[in-house]
Each structure stands twice: as structure tokens, then as C-alpha cells.
Structure 1
Amino acid sequence: MGYKITIVGGGSSTFTPQLMRLFIESRLLQDSTICLMDIDEHRLNVMFRLSQRLIEKTNASLKVEATTNRLDSLTDADFVITAIAVGGLKAWEYDIEIPARYGVYMAICDSVGPGGIMRAFRHIPVLVGMAKELEEVSPKAWVFNYTNPVPTNCMAMVRNSKIKVVGLCTCSSIPSNPNYLAEIVGVNPEDILTPAPAAGINHCAAILSLKLKDGRDGLQLVKERSSNLVEKLFVENYGVLPYCWSHWTEFFPFLCGLEEEYKGRLQGLKMKFGLKVHDMVEEQQRTAKWEKLVEDMATGMRDLSLDVLPSGEAVLVVDIIEALLENRNEVFVVNTLNRGAIENLPFDAIVEVSSVVGGYGIIPIHVGKLPPPLAAVLSNHIEVQRLTVEAALTGDRSLAFQALLQDPQVASKLKPDEVGKLLDDLLNAHAQYLPLFFKK
């Protein structure tokens, strides 16, 4: 039996090839239709041609379609995967550089802080519009959202539609990855018990316990052996292991600090703990190199090879689809409604938590309480998410101001009048993508 799987943002040269590799390798998804949807016709055409060639070369029993019409792509879909970037790299650059003028320095700027809030403002109206269309044409479809900020975008869709929404992320696979965990602990991969229980919110979730097959405590070994100061700080003082630690630094102002002087351009500067601020020039160079490789394969100028198509970032989604279809009742770490799984976070928050995936859907596992200081930090960020969702869908500048003022990075550095000026600068820079904030 075949299924219709739609990729919104299907023109991505870094994401779609990974997915096509996984679809081709999946026995269960043979006879399915993969529908690529994107507003960039050139990139969409390249991915369509590449996908066709991959299917032909591997003799996979798949069909691929391409369209710029979102409603057509969603009609009769069983699964929808979202990976969009409204505004592209230029918008991301604004998210990094405009707050820096006010002394807010962050390395990644796609989850929290002013950059995370602005990214949500750009994405939420698009994703909620998509979810409402799905209600009309494919109400039983599952949405797997990879678009950052994952929890805020998922919260917006869940609160404004009846569609089944799950958030996924590269980091979410770490608690199930023995190779990654073994490197942190300093043991062999076969010694680790996986999947390790995990809980928190996306980009600030933690492994709650880690056991070795011989009975040793993996977290104790991290205390003794790890040279990573962020990991050691939270294992020693909170009793949990950050598994996406570079993102964690953005949730705690005391972890964010420059080690080079800011002279008007933040990108590329060194920060604490060996981090470097994301640089859009380098990102553009990486993207251009990858796009050239993919386009050459699509046009036949380069031999096709699945081996050069990474499967990392997208790997979870196909495993989860298969678990849903075959009632496997497997455990994955996903972003979903809390529903009491984490006792000291809001019931209706979108949390990243170990969950059972099977024929009854995706059910979060009860993990009890997080360490109270950590829960307090996350609860504050969840309130920022709530304000951000409301502001994004109404264009209410007062709510947008409240969201910024509530954010720990902003609150630790700026006075209220400075927050207002920062908000104006950010909204004006992104005005073409934020019509609700400029309606007359």
C-alpha cells in the first residue's frame, strides 16, 4: 500500500536529498508518492529531477511529483514534512546582527532570544495557514515539523488547528545514538543502554539517566571524564546531561559571552566554550557548494550516488512513520504536547520527551519532575513561546514587546525602552515577511 508524503520546502538541496535516500531505502514506503512543494521553482525543479534519477537508478517503487501550489501538495496527503526558511540567510543575518547592536550576543539565534522570536514571527503564519488547509483537504494527516523554532511553531499549529503535529530535530536522535553517547561517556558504543530517557524543550532537553550494560552510571562517568564544561556544569549541579549543549548556552545568559571584541559584526566571532557565532558568508559558501553538487547529479553531469547523500538530519522521520504504520511501539524523542509527562512544566506546553510511537499515535512517557531550577528556566521560555505565538498571529506589538522583555537574554541586558527600540528595528528589517505587524 502506498502513501502520499508531502515535503513543504521540498526544494531544499540539503534536506530533500536525505529524505529521498531514506524513502528509497524504506521497504514499507514503497509504492508511495513523494510530493515536493516549494515556492522557488528553480530549486524545486532541481530536486524533482534529482529524485526522478535516484528512483530510476535504484529501481525503487516510488513516484515523485513537484508543485508550487501548497493546497495541491496537501490534498490527500498522509504525512507532511515541513522544512522552510522564510527570508533565507539574509533574515537569519538580521536575527544575529540587529540584537548584537544592543549587546545581545548569541551564537545560533534560531531557537530563543530575539532571533528565535523573529524566526517564529516569520514562520508561524505560514505554518498555521498550512495546518488550516490540511484540516480541509487531509484532516487525518500527520505533520512532522523540522522548521525552527520547533516548539513555538508546533505550539502555534496545535493551538490553531486539529491536525496531528510532531516536532523533530537533529538533536532528538542523540538519546538513541550509542556512538554519540559513548563518545561523551568515554566507553565503547556497545556498552551503552539506549534509548536513554530524555526530557525538556527543544534545544534545551537533557538525558535524565544513562546506564551502561555492566550497571555503571553513565552520568557519573561524565562527571569524572568529560572535558566539556557545559556538560559537567549541568551533570554536577542538576543531575542531567545536556545533549545539544551548544544550543543550551542560548537559554542561559550566564553561558553566553564573547571572547573577541565586537566591532560591528558579530558573525564569526568566538564565544565561550569554543563556540563561534554562525556566519552567513560561510553558510552561503557551504550551501552553494552543496547545491552545485546536487544540481550536477540532477542534470547528469555527475554520477548519482546515495553514498554522498547524508541521512543524518532527517533520519528520525522515516523511522517514526514506519513505527506508526506497523504499530512497533518504539521509543523516540520527539516534540509533542506535554500532557503531564513532565510534571513541573505546563500541561499544554510542547516538550521534547521520550515517547512511544505505534498504532495509537505518539504518546509521551511520564518522566516525573525535572530539577526545579531547570524547570523554572524552561517554564519562562514556554511563556515566551506563548506570547510569541499570539503576537505572530495578531500582529500585536504589545505582545511582541512582552515576549522580548520576558526572554532571559534580553531581560539580562536591556532596559524596557531599549527593548522597544530593538523590537522596532527587528520588525522594520523583516517587514516584508510580517504584514500583520504593519496592517493599517
Structure 2
Amino acid sequence: MQLTPEDYSSIREYIKNPTRSGIWRLSANWERSGGVSSIVWEQLSAKVASNHPIAVQFKGQEIRLQPSSINTDNIKDVIENKITFLFELFKHLQPEDKDDIFAHSTLNYETQLILAAIDTDKIRTEFSKADEFYRQNIHSYGFSTSVRRNRPTIIRDSFFLLAEPPSFDGRLRFLALSSQPLERLKTFLVLTGKISEPSLRKVFSPEEEVFEPYFNLVQASHSAISSDARLSPHFARAFTEYAAERYESSIGALGVIAEDYLTQVYETLLRDAPPRGKTLGQLYDCLHSEVRNLFRKAPPKSADLNELYGKVNEALKASASGSAEMTTIALVLIRDVINAIKLERASTQDAIRQMRDHDAQVTVFPPLIRANLNDLIRYRNAAAHKTRVPLGNYEALRALYSLVSFAMWWQESIEGIDWHASRDDIIAKFVKDAGT
């Protein structure tokens, strides 16, 4: 089964701003040996104790296993702790799937052995409500029973992610972008007797939990986010390095993608190629420097002190010759000096303001995108220069979020450009939309 357009739409909404959209969480106590697991284990144990060979269809061939060759510890772990097995068990109970499940599935050895050894009719009878609910709300044609940590598992027309598998302390946790799949999952697990004390709520904090499935959801949908084939190898490297927990290398790959997008912004708006060999931060500064130059206001005119000095000399000459009234001349000179001081002060204040505001006064990026780009530049620099700034899972997630939000903003913005307008008018609109 594949993600639907509706799934991609909800993923886009989430990855654009996870803290705003939030995420749904289902947590519960995992009943390790309870419910349907106890029945399955009881039947399998009796089969092993009988010492009769068990016929298993594996990879198209029938294998007859002696009970003494069966690793019961592994089998018990599958029965009690694997959600994938739980789905496989109830899929096997469906009439349309039972006959071909061995010939056409990719079930592992342990699951095939368990299903061959137990009485599924008895399980269907004892868990008839769970069977009916599974058939009506979870199972569908092509349903993949595989449940992997932080990977989308599709049930009917929605999906969920296993965030925390059943642990030694008996807790487990699922995440989803809507409540519907978790409502279905909760009901099914309660009916099978596998969970107790379930809690379903929407989460906006802590940020670490809200961002927990971020990388995997971007990986599952990045082709729908960016159709630029040039960037696919860099995305692939970022995902591979993240999965291997080489976070610095992953951030480095994300920085390369960000440089490409920032170059696109520079060339599209300024109609010129950026200087070569610039880092991400330098490219960001170059873009803002060029944009500021387009909108830089002329500083207030400074007073002409040479002219004022000449007037003073003329007054001194007139005073020495006795040809002018010194009181009037002095007042005029004092007025001119005050005006000169006011002009010089205004010019100085304007220069200080421009230095203080730097690029905050004129930018093409909205505040959120600007903040995310600054975060990405900081992480990129730390990864490139091997600084003492710790770079772990959280920093890699934030770097990816910063990149994705920037890329999505640019794609949406470029669609709204009026290409009949002049270059300066297009830039002016970006600056206005940025709220400056």
C-alpha cells in the first residue's frame, strides 16, 4: 500500500511547521503475555510438547521441523512482543488471505512456524470482536503488516508510526498526524487484550517528541516536496548519514542543499550569479548586501563646515573694520552653528542605526524563515569546522526542519511572482511580504 495524496498533504502541513501542527500520541501499557498472546503461546507450547513434527511452508517448500530444533525463546518473543506478528495473525484469519498466505507473503520463519502450529479457528472464535474490527477497520487489499519503528504503517486510509516499541517497563507509544488511525489501533489492541490504560491526546510539547518522526516523514515524502533531481543524491546522503547516526555528515549534506536553494533565490531575484566559493553564511550575507543596496536611503546631508568657517572669518573682518553690528552677526553665526550640530547629529544617528539593524531592516525572508536560516547556518558551520558545538540527533532534526521550511517557502513564493514586473518591483514585493 502507498501513501495517498491526502497523506502527503497532511505530511506537508506537519513538516512545514511541526510545533504549530502538533502530533497525536497513543501511549499504553503493553500486556506482554496477556490476551491473544497467551492463547497462541499455550497452543504452540502444547504442539512442541507433543514431540510431533511441525510442517512449515517456507520459501515455497515444505519443511518438517522437529520440536527439539525450535528456539522457543525466540518464538515466545515474537508472540508476546511483535506488533507485526499480531497483524499477521489476524490477516491470516481472513478467508481471502488464509489459503495463499504462505505462497505469496514474505513472512519470516518464526511467524510461519507459529501460524502452522496453532488452531486459528479457535482464536477466531475467542477473539471474534477483534477479528471483526480488524476486518472492517484495519485490513484492506495489499495491507502490509510490517511495523517498523518511526516508519509509516498504513491502515485503510491513514497511517501511524511506532515511536516506542514494547519495552521492559511495559510501555509503548505510537504517533500519527490525525487521531483516526490511533483510535482504530487503540480499539484493536484493547480487543486483543494487548494493551491497558490507553491514553490518546495531541502533543505540542516537548519539542523532542513533536519532532520525533520528522526525518522519517520527510524521507517518505521528500520527492513530493522537491522534484529537483539534482538534489536527490544529497537528500539520500542526508537520510543515510542520519540513520547511521553520523549527524555531522548529515547536516553537511543538508547544508549543500540549502546552498543550492539560496543560490536559486539570489539568481532569481537579482538576475545575476552570486560570487563563487562562498559558504552558506557568506552567500546569505551577499544576498542581503545586494538587496540592502537597492533600498538604502541617502543619509541626511551633513553641514558644510567650510562655509560656516568662512562666515566666521567674514564676521571677524567686519568687526575689525567696524562696518557691521556684532550682536546681529553673532546671533546669525550661533544659529548656523546649532543647525550644523543638528545635521551632524542626525547623520551620525542614521549611521549608528544602519550598523545596529544590519540586515534586519531590509530582507526578502519572513521572520520565521530568517530565523531558521540562521539556525541552519550555525549548524552547518559547526559541522564544517568541527567546533565544540555538540551536534546530535536534535540538531540534525532542527537542521532538516530549517531546510525544509526554507525550501517550501521558496517554492510557494516563486509560484506567486509576477514575471511581468521589473526586477526591483519583484524584490520590493518580497521585502514588503517579509514584513519589513
TM-score with structure 1 setting the length: 0.21
Select the structure that is richer in helix: 2
Larger Rg: 2
